[in-house]
Amino acid sequence: MKKYSFVKMNGAGNDFIVFDKNTTTGLQFSSSLIKKLCDRRFGIGGDGIITITKSDSHDFEMEYFNVDGTTGTLCGNGARCAIRFAEVFGISKNKSVKFLSNGISYSGDVLDDDLIRFKLNSPNSLKENFSFPVSGTEIKANFINTGSPHVVLFIDDLSLKENFKFESLNDFPVYSVGKEIRYSNEFAPDGTNVNFLEIKNSLVHIRTYERGVEDETLACGTGSVASAIITFLQKQIPPPIVLQARGGDKLIVDFSAEGTLIKNVSLTGPAKINYSGEFTL
């Protein structure tokens, strides 16, 4: 039997189990172990697992695992938690850091005790105002890849469809509709994350169905970035754009734009340590 230490963190309610791989040598993150640890009833509980490793060329290297054990995509709130983790535990010595995720270089800043800014690379694969069938009717949607693939929909557009019955974003069937779109042939074989937006007084309220978690999460970093960019392009709301996450915290997305060319993208919001602990294998 061996004990392993972890830190539980959350970025705007998007929660992660974080490991310093330099002090947890020998721990193999198999799909079965990841599912067990992330289970909210029989494990620690989380939307995913993050590992932090020392790097020769950067402050650290981050690896992110979804609940289902898959990896390879960017996690925006996870990146902000990793930046906070590295600062608290002395892995990085400066308030501004550079790190690797999936072999790609990123940077970020510790702005305050719990306020972290993550700088993303420019998005790609933008596709606006295309239609595809959902729940027996054609809907209009937008797509953009911000390090992870995201569909963005405005619920005002969906309210015009007889197949969707809801009063506001609060009672919109995010799980069922999100799951259907996530597995739609339109986005096969890899699938997509799905974001539903409602704008009130320039504040973007967002709910997200996350691929890999296969459920709604309380916040999604790359989804918030995708939604802010689409909101700018579709609704002409200028950056920085504030988004109200399902968990209650606000995320701020900033960027510069030259037409549809989006640059200097950043995601700012809270990243907090919930607690530390250990488990035995």
Task: Give catalytic residue positions.
Answer: 75, 220
Cis peptide bond upstream of 240, omega within 30: yes
Q: What are phi and psi of 86, to 5 degrees?
A: -65, -35
Beta strands in the chain (DSSP E): 3-11, 14-20, 48-53, 60-66, 96-101, 104-110, 115-120, 124-134, 137-145, 149-154, 193-200, 203-210, 215-217, 241-244, 250-258, 261-270, 272-280
SS (H, E, C) 25-60: CCCCCCHHHHHHHHCCCCCCCCCEEEEEECCCCCCE
SS (H, E, C) 55-80: CCCCCEEEEEEECCCCECCCCHHHHH
What is the bridge-based pairing of β-strands 241-244 and 215-217? unpaired
